[in-house]
Homo-oligomer: A and B are copies of this chain.
Amino acid sequence: MVNKRYKEMLEHKSVIRELSEYATARGQEIGYENVFDYSLGNPSVPVPQDYTDAVIRLHQETEPVQLHGYSPSLGDTEVRGIVASSLEKRFGIPYETRHIFMASGAAGALSHALRIVTEPGDEIILFAPFFPEYIPYTKGAGLIPKIVEADFFSFQINFDAFKALLTEKVSAVLINSPNNPSGIVYSEETLKKLVSILEKAEKKYGHEIFLISDEPYREIVFDGAKTPYPSKYYKNTLSCYSFSKSLSLPGERIGYVAVNPEAKDADLLAVMCGQVSREIGHNCPAKTSQLGVAAVIDETADLSIYETNMNLIYDCLLGLGFEVVRPGGTFYIMPKALEADSIAFCKKALKYDLIFVPADNFGAPGYFRMAYCIDTEKVVRSLNRIREFVKAEYPNR
């Protein structure tokens, strides 16, 4: 029998995808260079040449049966070791091979992490604004997402709202810093306060509350800053990573879960991920992608363009009187729309071939998201269009 729920889900199409399809169609009409598509988070800078060279060399030099053979269910053992060493070197946490589980991008990493530290029916806390796919990810793991309202002033954490939701039923807390959609990076102060609340709650309720940290934007930070690494502050942390953004490899679906070596059952959690895989039919990322990223583990694509773009856009928006928090990283910015109805706002922008995404689904009604992973030249051209749009549609500001 055809499943009812998945069939019904088809009726709720993703706003981002619809806008992106509109942009593609409009591009075919007037030339893609004339559509200012800020809808999609698809990296716009190439993977480092070292990656390409490594993958070519693997195909030229490795015996194919070995190269394309099954990897163990937790990922290629050597690759896991390379990930562990790299993390240890960077963050001073003594990760070993057994703490790493190779996953199909951040989505794959989260789907495993969510399941190993919760029971179906438990509550999990999300912080607005958040990536909308967290809803199917958490519900798919049998969890009940509880959403902490945003701190609209800073997009750090609204701690009062958080404390109110942190009941005994909560077994995990999901954070995402640097954040999609706001571009905000949680400060060390925010993390310390978060951790202190979690530690108290663990004691009070007598069970662990795991911190699941979704970190695909870890490497994209501005002003020479570094993202504080959540696992440094809280031992019951699972760090979920993807190479999609740092290496510009979203199509290759490669990432990992790193279990803090001092977490409860730390030596079992990665192995348990392998058991989750058996139930959700996920058996490792592609072997060649695993070997490819291992060859360039400490490299990134040239991510500087995102900071250049951010500064151009931020200054322009500020000049036009937008209310906007300056991003500390990622390639997103989330200004407040110029009218209460952000969907109406984004629809008006379409007339100027500006593709913005209403942030209502991200837990930030009245705001919109711009993904500025596009060529700087195009960003520059878009600024005049943004000015034109604002002056024509909102003349009395």
Chain A positions within 8 Å of B, measured between CB atoms, are: 1-4, 6-7, 9-10, 40, 42-47, 52, 55-56, 59-60, 63-65, 67-71, 104-105, 107-112, 115-119, 122, 133, 136-137, 139-140, 171, 207-210, 248-254, 264-265, 268-269, 271-272, 275-276, 278-289
Contacts and interface: CB of A to CB of B under 8 A. Distances in A.
Contacts of A115: 3, 6
Contacts of A139: 279
Given A42-B69, A65-B44, A117-B3, A10 B283 contact: no
Nearest to A287: B251
Given A253-B286, A275-B10, A286-B251, A64 B52 contact: yes
30 contacts: A1-B119, A1-B210, A2-B116, A2-B117, A2-B208, A2-B265, A3-B118, A3-B119, A6-B272, A9-B272, A10-B271, A42-B69, A46-B64, A52-B64, A55-B288, A56-B56, A59-B59, A67-B251, A68-B248, A68-B249, A68-B251, A69-B251, A70-B251, A108-B283, A110-B281, A139-B279, A140-B280, A252-B287, A280-B282, A286-B288
Contacts of A52: 59-60, 64
A336 B321 CA distance: 80
Contacts of A269: 2
A103 to B, nearest CB: 8
- List the 8 closest pairs (A to B, CB-CB), nearest first: A111-B281, A140-B279, A251-B287, A286-B286, A46-B64, A136-B278, A280-B280, A107-B281
Contacts of A140: 278-281
A52 B278 CA distance: 29
Given A3-B272, A6-B116, A285-B253, A248 B278 contact: no
A105 to B, nearest CB: 6
A111 B111 CA distance: 14
A250 B253 CA distance: 16
Contacts of A268: 2, 7, 10
A105 B9 CA distance: 25
A68 B245 CA distance: 11
Nearest to A45: B65
A314 B248 CA distance: 51
B2 A282 contact: no
Contact of A68 (B4, B136, B250, B287): B250
Contacts of A60: 52, 56
